[in-house]
Amino acid sequence: MAVTSRRLLRTSLLTALSAVLVASAATGAAQAEPSRTPAPAAAATVFSDTFDGPAGAAANASKWQIETGDNVNNHERQYYTAGANNAALDGQGHLVITARRENPGNYQCWYGRCEYTSARLNTSGKFTAQYGHVEARLQVPRGQGMWPAFWMLGNDIGQVGWPNSGEIDVMENVGYEPSTVHGTIHGPGYSGSGGIGAAYTLPGGQAFADGFHTFAVDWAPDSITWSVDGQVYQRRTPADLGGRSWVFNKPFFLILNLAVGGYWPGDPDGSTSFPQRLVVDHVSVTTSGVAPGARR
């Protein structure tokens, strides 16, 4: 989700096998075997949340922090609230982010009194990823003006700003495209509406809001590959940037949010019903079985 007009613990499991000494059966002399090619590292889950807990509980504070406020940059209409007001466990292993057309706290937005409330969570200061398989299993909301997203920002955003920090949008959906999701990268010289990405559309007119789907990136040095339900639909490398800077070989933190309105999705209209929910079944980051120095 771009933070302009349209827009975490570094973990890389690297291993190498040392040369193995074997005893010579014939002479008893110790001889060194030739060096072997480094074996791929075993995959390991370095971040996981399956959102187990009682209904109404807030997200695990050791993994997620709750952002608050509005977003004038995208001209979104919601106010992101604290606690479990708009983001709570359902007691069935899900986190539910709920957008409501209400403002009991009298929150003020860039355009005046906020019309909607919702939630945005991130792992900044709690977890960063650098490479691996990053995925979330989600059921998106439906309706004009809905804008759910699962994405990542460079952990150095506080020092270098956006878009120099880089942004990896694992999944974005805008309500007027019920069958389509987008995967995008943003960086210096290719941000906002100039982000580089592709779309994935379900066959046969199916809507993403009708059920759960798994959205993922496989991220390695100089390579990011997007998939939906295991189906790869795009791969990006520095060669796609036309000489511009690749800013994705560093730690990023994770973000989940449900925006309402904005430049890209447009605002809700009379056809949009509330409340709307982004239901999150799980989020995980798994290190890839990549040998030392390997590139994808």
pLDDT digits (tens, 9 = 90+) for 143-181: 999 999 999 999 999 999 999 999 999 999 999 999 999
Active-site entry in 76, 115, 135, 167: 167
pLDDT band at 13 (very low <50, low <70, confident <90, very high): very low
Q: Are strands 78-80 and 116-118 parallel, antiparallel or unpaired?
A: parallel
pLDDT of 70 above 90: yes
Is 172 a known active-site residue? yes
- Residue 135 annotated as catalytic: no
Higher local confidence (pLDDT), 66 or 5? 66
Burial class from Cβ neighbours inside 10 Å (0-12, 13-18, 19+) for residue 101 reads: middle
Q: Is the pLDDT of residue 121 over 80?
A: yes
The model carries a pTM of 0.85
| Main-chain dihedrals φ then ψ at residue 157, nearest 5 degrees | -60, -35
* HSE-CB for 118 with a 13 A CA cutoff: 31
DSSP letter at 261 equals -
Amino acid at 49: D
pLDDT score at 43: 84
On whether the CB atoms of residues 130 and 12 are closer than 8 A, the answer is yes
pLDDT mean over 104-109: 97
| Amino acid identity at 230 | G
- Quick one: which of 52, 139, 151 has its CA closest to 98? 139
Task: Give the pair of three-digit tokens for residue 188.
Answer: 């210096």
